[in-house]
Structure 1
Amino acid sequence: MTTTSTERVTFGPDRLTRLITEIAEGALERERTGERPFAVIDLVRESRLGALRVPSADGGGGASLRDLFATVIALAAADVNVAHILRGHFAFVEERLRLGGAERRRAIDLALSGMIVGNASTELGSAPAGAFTWQTKLTPDGDGYRLNGRKFFTTGTLYADYAEVLASNPEGATVIALVPTDRAGVTVLDDWDGMGQRATGTGTAIFDDVAVSADELLQFAPPDADTEPPALYLSGAFFQLYVTALEAGVLQALRDDAVAHVLQRPRSFAWAPTTTPADDPLLQREIGEIAAAAYASEATVLAAADALAAAFDADVAGTDPGLDLAHEASLRAAAAKIVVDGLAQKSASQIFDVGGASVVRQAHLLDRHWRNIRTLASHNPTSYKAQALGAYYVRQTRLPGSGYF
Structure 2
Amino acid sequence: MTTTHTEPVSYGSDRLARLIATIGEGALERERTGERPFAAVNLIRQERLGALRVPTAEGGGGATLRELFSTVISLATADVNVAHILRGHFSHVEERLRLDENARRRVIDLALSGAIVGNASTELGSTPAGGFTWKTKLTPDGDGFRLNGTKFFTTGTLYADYAEVIASDPAGATVIALVPTDRAGVTVVDDWDGMGQRATGTGTATFDDVTVARDEILQFAPPDADTAPPALYLSGAFFQLYVTALEAGVLHALRGDAVAHVHQRSRSFAWAPSPTAPDDPLLQREIGEIAAAGFAAEATVLAAADALAIAFDADVRGTDPDLELAHEASLQAAAAKVVVDALAQKAASQIFDVGGASVVRQAHLLDRHWRNIRTLASHNPTSYKAQALGEYYARGTRLPGSGYF
TM-score range, shorter chain: over 0.9
> Which residue number in structure 1 is paired with residue 293 of structure 2?
293
Query: How big is the shift at 1:231?
Result: 4.4
Residue pair 2:7, 2:60 contacting (<8 A) in 1 also: yes
> Which residue number in structure 2 is paired with residue 196 of structure 1?
196
Matched, 1:247 2:253: no
Query: After superposition, where does 1:1-400 map in structure 2 within 5 Å?
Result: 5-11=4-10, 12-227=12-227, 231-400=231-400
Which deviates further from its counterpart, 269-278 or 81-90?
A: 269-278
Residue pair 1:229, 1:322 contacting (<8 A) in 2 also: no
Query: SS where residue 389 of structure 1 aligns?
Result: helix
Query: How big is the shift at 1:393?
Result: 0.7
Q: Distance in 1 between matches of 2:291 and 2:13?
A: 23
AA in 2 matched with 1:50: G
Q: How many residues align?
A: 404
| TM-score calculated relative to the size of structure 1 | 0.98
Q: Percent identity?
A: 83
Q: Distance in 2 between matches of 1:92 and 1:290?
A: 33
Stretches of structure 1 that go unaligned for 5 or more consecutive residues are: none
AA in 2 matched with 1:58: E
Residue pair 2:73, 2:248 contacting (<8 A) in 1 also: yes
Q: Distance in 2 between matches of 1:338 and 1:161?
A: 33
Q: Distance in 1 between matches of 2:230 and 2:87?
A: 23
Q: Deviations over 1:157-178 (max 9, x none)?
A: 0000000000011221101100
Query: SS where residue 54 of structure 2 aligns?
Result: coil
Query: SS where residue 222 of structure 1 aligns?
Result: coil
Q: Which runs of 4+ in 1 moved over 6 A?
A: none
Q: Distance in 2 between matches of 1:188 and 1:48?
A: 23
Q: Deviations over 1:343-392 (max 9, x none)?
A: 00000000000000000000000000000000000010000000000111
Query: How big is the shift at 1:99?
Result: 1.8
Query: SS where residue 210 of structure 1 aligns?
Result: strand
Query: How big is the shift at 1:104?
Result: 1.0
Which deviates further from its counterpart, 144-153 or 262-271?
A: 262-271
Residue pair 2:221, 2:229 contacting (<8 A) in 1 also: no
| TM-score calculated relative to the size of structure 2 | 0.98
Q: Distance in 2 between matches of 1:252 and 1:113?
A: 31
Q: Deviations over 1:133-190 (max 9, x none)?
A: 1000001111000000000000000000000000011221101100000000000000
Which deviates further from its counterpart, 325-334 or 98-107?
A: 98-107
Query: How big is the shift at 1:229?
Result: 5.9
Residue pair 1:7, 1:59 contacting (<8 A) in 2 also: no
Q: How large is the Cα RMSD of the aligned pairs?
A: 1.2
AA in 2 matched with 1:266: S
Q: Distance in 2 between matches of 1:231 and 1:51?
A: 21
AA in 2 matched with 1:84: H
Residue pair 2:9, 2:49 contacting (<8 A) in 1 also: no
Query: How big is the shift at 1:8?
Result: 4.1
Stretches of structure 2 that go unaligned for 5 or more consecutive residues are: none
AA in 1 matched with 2:162: Y
Q: Distance in 2 between matches of 1:115 and 1:307?
A: 29
AA in 2 matched with 1:187: T
Q: Distance in 2 between matches of 1:165 and 1:243?
A: 20
Query: How big is the shift at 1:6?
Result: 3.1
Residue pair 1:231, 1:401 contacting (<8 A) in 2 also: no
Query: SS where residue 232 of structure 1 aligns?
Result: helix
Q: Distance in 1 between matches of 2:3 and 2:175?
A: 29
Q: Distance in 2 between matches of 1:247 and 1:160?
A: 23
AA in 1 matched with 2:360: V
Q: Deviations over 1:51-80 (max 9, x none)?
A: 000011110000000000000000000000
Residue pair 1:348, 1:369 contacting (<8 A) in 2 also: yes
Residue pair 2:178, 2:218 contacting (<8 A) in 1 also: yes
Q: Deviations over 1:216-237 (max 9, x none)?
A: 0001111112336664100000
Residue pair 1:229, 1:398 contacting (<8 A) in 2 also: no
AA in 2 matched with 1:333: A
